[in-house]
């Protein structure tokens, strides 16, 4: 594809050089004429045809990110030889993404750049890399120790790349809780309150945080910084309690917020925080984001004027509930709130789009009605980051289409845009959700992960899955995912791990149920088949899954963190081997019983957030 770009290219020149390979075009005077105009107002793109041939195009844009969105639309239309006439008015000043780089997986710089290119195609103009301790602090060598922490030069390289595409990168750190990976070291003794939370209202803590904030902000051109402070309910209940006695949590939190704000002020930074603890401490029921929460005038007077609250809600709530909570945020702070929704990547191998899309529909609609100007989606990697963030691209595309249209995006438009941007069909992304739920199976919070890691002999989830057609489900799903993998060359690696996982689960999901049934009925023929054929086969499939997963990990992430998944896979393979040996010993008469199979399996009847990992696979 050859384009003849005309106009002032200075504001977009660096980004054009980046996107030529991504979008598959070259620039030459012999190409399709494209008149480019930067001006105030909505973004517009016209691609005209004369006698069935593409004739000329016009792009009108305000911000560089708007240009790159229109450029992606233009190149897709040129590939399809179709005319185009689009006008869009952005509903938000900031549309962004947060990627968790703290739960084992620290994305390679090249992976961050790849995501930035996809974001530019969509028109998303802000990226946060969530880094608890995964950035280097020169004065603190144990901060990020053996965790693949980003160097200052790596983060600066990402920021330069983002700026060329019109994308603001904002440092996203923690300055109170979620710091357990650093606080485990003896070097942190003087600033530790609990195993995960810093000692608030403590001078040495603020000296420590000054170094963190300086290091985290230095690589970036923006003056904005996200300083975290969420989920800190244990604040004041460790060393602080021993040293000072019990202190009321809300005043302690506000004193800490004021102390950290002083540091950001000295560095001329504009801080934002997750707002959940402000609501939780003020709530009479101590519940997060209670719409009935009232903030006293005393509390409001203590809120630093510089703090921007970030309202994060991931579940599917009524539009009016979101609107009420957004209005409360405006009462709480002089700064306009930012909204953070979720693309459900966390604690799982796939992505739960059954929750993601309706939840974002309601929350983003509420933001528009309340005229909130900044919104983002978060992609968390809780409990090891076994999944692939690129499986969440449909969620990013949905955010973009919602953000550039007054109404909820048209289904056909969304399907066209995600296919143009990734080469993957809408329904292929949706099928990633089937790792965890299906119309036949009903709703499971984290089915595939639970079934993968659960012990073959203990079978802690077996009573809850009894009677469900899991073998057939995963057999069909593996074929479906394999077809997606083969038909999408550009981003088909998204399906590599899920496809192999489904193959493994087709044999493992109901294994414990069949094993226990055969043992209880003394069906030695079936036990022999399981011991000599099925368990060795499952070990091979598990080894293949580990190898495929490791290859994907090393392509996307720094090697640090893979050791956690290596241990999980090693534990899984070892337990399958032990199950085989235990059955063979029983069948040979060397032991009179298999005690693990003698124990009764009880129904758990819960929907755990991350599956039954900890209890089902004690080795991890």
- Last-in-domain residue among 403, 422, 441: 422
Same domain, yes or no: 263 and 376: yes
Nearest to 167 by CA among 312, 18, 306: 18
The CA distance from 181 to 138, in Å, is 17
H helix runs in 151-202, sequence order: 152-164, 180-183
Neighbouring CB atoms inside 10 A of 569's CB total 21
Same domain, yes or no: 331 and 233: yes
The CA distance from 331 to 294, in Å, is 10
Residue 300 falls inside a structural domain: yes
Please provide residue 61's backbone torsions phi and psi, each rounded to the nearest 5 degrees. -145, 165
The CA distance from 90 to 406, in Å, is 8
The CA distance from 180 to 178, in Å, is 6
Burial class for 372, CB neighbours closer than 10 Å (0-12, 13-18, 19+): buried
Residue 302 tokens, joined: 């203590």
| CA 567 to centroid of chain Cα atoms | 23
- pLDDT tens digit sequence for 40-81: 999 999 999 877 777 899 999 999 999 999 999 999 999 998
- pLDDT tens digit sequence for 481-517: 999 987 766 678 899 999 999 999 999 999 999 999 9
Same domain, yes or no: 247 and 211: yes
Nearest to 438 by CA among 345, 354, 343, 346: 354
| CATH number, domain with residue 27 | 3.30.160.230
Nearest to 244 by CA among 280, 193, 278, 196: 193
Question: For residue 618, is pLDDT > 80?
Answer: no
Give the residue-averaged pLDDT of 601-611.
Answer: 64
H helix runs in 125-186, sequence order: 152-164, 180-183
Same domain, yes or no: 139 and 283: yes
Q: What angle do CA 77, 390, 166 make, to 5 degrees?
A: 60
Nearest to 23 by CA among 333, 377, 422, 307: 422
Question: For residue 613, is pLDDT > 90?
Answer: no
Residue 363 falls inside a structural domain: yes
Helix (H) or strand (E) holding 124: none
Number of domains in the chain: 3
The CA distance from 210 to 521, in Å, is 66
The whole domain housing 41 covers: 2-88
Question: For residue 604, is pLDDT > 90?
Answer: no
DSSP-derived pairing of the beta strands 53-61 and 43-50: antiparallel
Nearest to 272 by CA among 315, 306, 316: 306
Give the residue-averaged pLDDT of 367-396.
Answer: 96
- pLDDT tens digit sequence for 81-124: 889 999 999 999 999 999 999 999 999 999 999 999 999 999 99
Same domain, yes or no: 407 and 259: yes
H helix runs in 558-598, sequence order: 562-587, 595-598
Residue 556 falls inside a structural domain: yes
Same domain, yes or no: 130 and 214: yes
Q: Report residue 441's pLDDT band, with 50, 70 and 90 as the boundaries.
A: low
Note whether 216 and 135 are within 8 A (CB): yes
User: 157 CB contacts (<8 Å, ≥6 apart)?
Assistant: 109
Residue 494 falls inside a structural domain: yes
Question: For residue 167, is pLDDT > 50?
Answer: yes
**In the Cβ-directed half-sphere of 49, how many Cα atoms lie within 13 Å?**
11
Note whether 396 and 343 are within 8 A (CB): yes
The CA distance from 470 to 466, in Å, is 9
Same domain, yes or no: 367 and 436: no
pLDDT value of residue 144 = 96
The packing angle between helices 411-422 and 393-403, to 10°, is 130
Question: For residue 610, is pLDDT > 80?
Answer: no
What distances in angstroms separate CA 145 from CA 102, 148, 560, one per listed residue? 12, 8, 10
Q: Strand, helix or coil at 98?
A: strand
pLDDT value of residue 617 = 35
- Last-in-domain residue among 385, 400, 422: 422
The CA distance from 179 to 132, in Å, is 6
Q: Report residue 607's pLDDT band, with 50, 70 and 90 as the boundaries.
A: low
Same domain, yes or no: 605 and 581: yes
- pLDDT tens digit sequence for 298-312: 889 999 999 999 999
Note whether 102 and 132 are within 8 A (CB): yes
Residue 197 tokens, joined: 């939370």
The CA distance from 497 to 260, in Å, is 42
Note whether 271 and 299 are within 8 A (CB): no
- Last-in-domain residue among 381, 402, 422: 422
Residue 166 falls inside a structural domain: yes
User: 296 CB contacts (<8 Å, ≥6 apart)?
Assistant: 282
Give the residue-averaged pLDDT of 576-587.
Answer: 98
Same domain, yes or no: 165 and 22: no
| CATH number, domain with residue 248 | 3.20.20.80
Residue 214 falls inside a structural domain: yes
Radius of gyration of the chain (CA): 26
Helix (H) or strand (E) holding 19: helix 13-23
Same domain, yes or no: 412 and 535: no
Q: Report residue 612's pLDDT band, with 50, 70 and 90 as the boundaries.
A: very low
Nearest to 94 by CA among 328, 408, 399: 399
Q: Is the dihedral of CA 542, 543, 545, 549 positive or negative?
A: positive
- pLDDT tens digit sequence for 214-235: 999 999 999 999 999 999 999 9
- pLDDT tens digit sequence for 240-254: 999 999 999 999 999
Residue 427 falls inside a structural domain: no
Note whether 47 and 77 are within 8 A (CB): yes
User: Picking from 215-229, 390-404, 595-609, which range would have the lowest pLDDT averaged per residue?
Assistant: 595-609
What distances in angstroms separate CA 347 from CA 50, 377, 384, 453, one per listed residue? 52, 16, 7, 13
Residue 371 tokens, joined: 């005229």
| CATH number, domain with residue 536 | 1.20.120.670
613: left (phi over 0), alpha (psi -120 to 50) or beta: alpha
- Supply the DSSP string of 454-496, one letter for each residue: S-TTT-TTHHHHTT--HHHHHHHHHHHHHHHHHH-TTTGGGGH
Same domain, yes or no: 255 and 299: yes
Residue 177 falls inside a structural domain: yes
pLDDT value of residue 489 = 62
What distances in angstroms separate CA 213 from CA 109, 218, 271, 363, 371, one per listed residue? 21, 8, 10, 31, 31
* pTM of the predicted protein model: 0.95
pLDDT value of residue 170 = 98
Question: How many residues in the chain?
Answer: 620
Same domain, yes or no: 319 and 197: yes
């Amino acid at each position: 594809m050859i384009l003849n770009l005309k106009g002032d290219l200075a504001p977009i020149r660096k980004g054009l050089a980046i996107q030529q390979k991504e979008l598959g075009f070259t620039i030459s005077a012999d190409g399709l004429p494209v008149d480019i105009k930067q001006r105030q107002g909505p973004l517009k793109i016209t691609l005209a045809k004369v006698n069935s041939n593409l004739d000329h195009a016009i792009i009108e844009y305000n911000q560089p990110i708007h240009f790159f969105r229109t450029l992606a639309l233009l190149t897709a239309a040129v590939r399809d030889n179709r005319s185009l006439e689009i006008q869009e008015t952005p509903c938000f000043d900031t549309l962004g993404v947060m990627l968790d780089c703290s739960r084992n997986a620290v994305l390679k710089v090249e992976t961050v750049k790849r995501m930035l290119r996809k974001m530019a195609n969509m028109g998303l103009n802000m990226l946060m890399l969530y880094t608890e301790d995964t950035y280097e602090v020169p004065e603190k060598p144990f901060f990020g120790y053996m965790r693949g922490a980003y160097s200052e030069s790596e983060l600066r390289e990402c920021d330069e790349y983002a700026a060329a595409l019109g994308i603001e990168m904002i440092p996203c750190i923690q300055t109170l809780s979620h710091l357990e990976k650093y606080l485990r070291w003896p070097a942190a003794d003087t600033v530790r309150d609990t195993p995960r939370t810093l000692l608030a209202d403590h001078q040495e803590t603020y000296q420590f945080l000054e170094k963190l904030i300086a290091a985290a902000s230095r690589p970036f051109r923006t003056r904005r910084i996200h300083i975290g402070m969420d989920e800190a309910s244990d604040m004041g209940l460790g060393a602080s309690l021993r040293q000072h006695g019990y202190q009321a949590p809300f005043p302690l939190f506000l004193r800490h917020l004021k102390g950290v704000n002083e540091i950001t002020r000295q560095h001329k930074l504009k801080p934002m925080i997750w707002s959940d603890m402000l609501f939780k401490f003020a709530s009479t029921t101590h519940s997060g984001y209670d719409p009935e929460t009232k903030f006293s005038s005393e509390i409001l007077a203590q809120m630093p004027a510089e703090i921007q609250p970030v309202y994060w809600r991931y579940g599917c709530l009524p539009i009016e509930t979101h609107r009420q909570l957004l209005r409360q945020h405006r009462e709480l702070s002089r700064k306009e709130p930012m909204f953070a929704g979720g693309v459900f990547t966390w604690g799982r191998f796939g992505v739960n789009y059954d929750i993601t899309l309706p939840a974002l529909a309601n929350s983003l609609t509420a933001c528009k009605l309340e005229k909130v100007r900044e919104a983002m989606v978060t992609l968390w990697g809780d409990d090891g980051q076994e999944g692939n963030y690129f499986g969440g691209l449909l969620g990013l595309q949905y955010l973009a289409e919602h953000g550039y249209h007054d109404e909820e995006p048209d289904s056909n438009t969304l399907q066209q845009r995600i296919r143009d941007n990734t080469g993957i069909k809408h329904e292929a992304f949706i099928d990633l959700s089937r790792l965890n739920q299906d119309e036949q199976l009903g709703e499971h919070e984290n089915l595939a992960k639970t079934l993968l890691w659960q012990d073959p002999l203990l079978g802690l989830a077996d009573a809850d899955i009894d009677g469900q057609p899991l073998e057939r489900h995963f057999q069909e799903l593996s074929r479906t995912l394999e077809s997606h993998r083969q038909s999408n060359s550009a981003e088909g690696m998204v399906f590599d791990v899920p496809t192999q996982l489904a193959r493994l689960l087709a044999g493992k999901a109901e294994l414990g149920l069949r094993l226990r049934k055969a043992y209880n009925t003394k069906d030695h023929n079936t036990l022999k088949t399981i011991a000599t054929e099925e368990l060795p086969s499952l070990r091979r499939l598990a080894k293949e899954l580990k190898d495929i997963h490791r290859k994907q990990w090393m392509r996307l992430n720094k090697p640090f963190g893979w050791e956690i998944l290596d241990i999980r896979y090693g534990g899984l393979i070892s337990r399958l081997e032990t199950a085989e040996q235990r059955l063979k010993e029983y069948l040979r008469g060397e032991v009179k019983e298999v005690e693990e199979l003698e124990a009764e399996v009880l129904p758990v009847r819960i929907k755990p957030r991350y599956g039954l990992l900890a209890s089902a696979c004690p080795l991890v």
